[in-house]
Amino acid sequence: MPEATPQFSVVPGAQVRTLLHGRETEVVSLIEEAYRLHGQGMTVNPPSYFLRFPDRPSARIIALPASLGGDEPVDGLKWISSFPDNLTRDLPRASATLILNDPVTGYPISCMESSIISATRTAASAALAADHLSRGRSRPSRVGFVGTGLIARYLHTFLVGTGWKFESVGVYDLDPSYAEGFLGYLRESEPHGEIMSYESPEALVRDCDLIVYATTAPTPHVDEPAWFQHNPLVLHVSLRDLAPNIILDAVNIVDDVEHCLKANTSVHLAEQLTGGRDFIDGTLFDVLTGTVRVDADRPVVFSPFGLGVLDLAVGRFVYDELRRNGDLLVIDNFFAELSRYESKAGSAA
């Protein structure tokens, strides 16, 4: 990248999954570099655009345009849908595609199945944050997952794949069948440490020092600060589980302030309640560069809205690896004309 002559490829999810399997450490490094470029002003990451439907209020499709600079620049767009009713159809809630554009010509060069890319970048971001936010305090050894879908599974995979070892792994989900499915995955993938199923989220939170919220909750459902009096590290991936009073009692780290304080996330609700942003202690970039150090005597909450540049970082990596290996599925003649001028067989543009 960039291509000398524009070519368009399609990357199926099976290729993405195979290529990324077992490369957790490598992907976390890619995500860290993307955060550093973002913090240095070498990205363009406009606000996400939410397409909502009056007749389907629980559903939405989100457009995340972005541009990632650095030594290997790329532009593009993630188009990701969230249709919670899919769960009743035995389908995943979310589906996504990622378009990559050549930064020199602007031509689209690939359409990639992106649910795996999206889950991967989310998990890698959280694993990166967990590592850096636990420095200077006792490293968590008891992890608990509230919500047991695809994101929870990927996040557990990335934690273990980047060297975390846990004395126990706790699981809670409103739907016992989802919890049981996640427990089955854990039994196959976690040979060490106790695996526990909890009947209440309170019991899980009180028992764990690393807590992952990966639910589909549209509004806060956790409002008891006493649950967090042991000062755990909370990866608030689903963004809307914690009531503002929980947020205001914690050290708050976000991936991007402007992006996170929108769309009625928990931190956005806290801003609306207080009329200010003083409760935000910094960004993950601030933590990575040592500008912000977190206290050990308060809960720490990481709230990542999810940046389009992270999807581009992973998508570019997948694209480049497939191209290097000769495995890109190129669509011949996708572009009808690659000349400005009329040919003998065509008409003028």
Q: What is the pLDDT of residues 35-81, one digit of tens each?
A: 999 999 999 999 999 999 999 999 999 999 999 999 999 999 999 99
The crossing angle, in degrees rounded to 10, of helices 115-133 and 13-20 is: 30
pLDDT band, residue 193 (cuts 50/70/90):
confident
Tally the C-alpha atoms within 13 A of residue 349's C-alpha that lie toward its C-beta. Answer: 7
Q: Which is nearest to 172 in space by CA: 147, 153, 155, 208?
A: 147
Q: How confident is the model at residue 192 (pLDDT cuts 50, 70, 90)?
A: low
- In the chain, where the domains are located: 8-117+308-331, 137-303
Cα–Cα distance for residue pair 114/41, rounded to 1 Å? 25
- The predicted-structure confidence for 277-300, as pLDDT tens digits, reads as follows 999 999 999 999 999 989 889 999
φ, ψ at 160 (rounded to 5°): -65, -40
pLDDT in tens, 71-120: 999 999 999 999 989 988 988 888 999 999 999 999 999 999 999 999 99
Give the pLDDT of residue 295.
Answer: 82
- Residue 215, pLDDT score: 95
Q: Which helix (H) or strand (E) holds 153?
A: helix 150-161
HSE at residue 163, side-chain half, CA atoms within 13 A, is 7
Q: Please determine, for residue 345, whether its predicted confidence score (pLDDT) is greater than 90.
A: no
Would you say residue 348 has pLDDT above 50? no
Class of domain 137-303: alpha beta
Q: For residue 40, give the amino acid letter.
A: Q
Predicted confidence (pLDDT) per residue in 233-256, tens digit: 999 999 999 999 999 999 999 999
Three-class DSSP category at 100? strand
Residue 302 in contact with residue 235, Cβ under 8 Å?
yes
Query: Which CATH code of 3.30.1780.10, 3.30.2320.30, 3.30.200.20, 3.30.1330.10 fits the domain covering 8-117+308-331?
Result: 3.30.1780.10
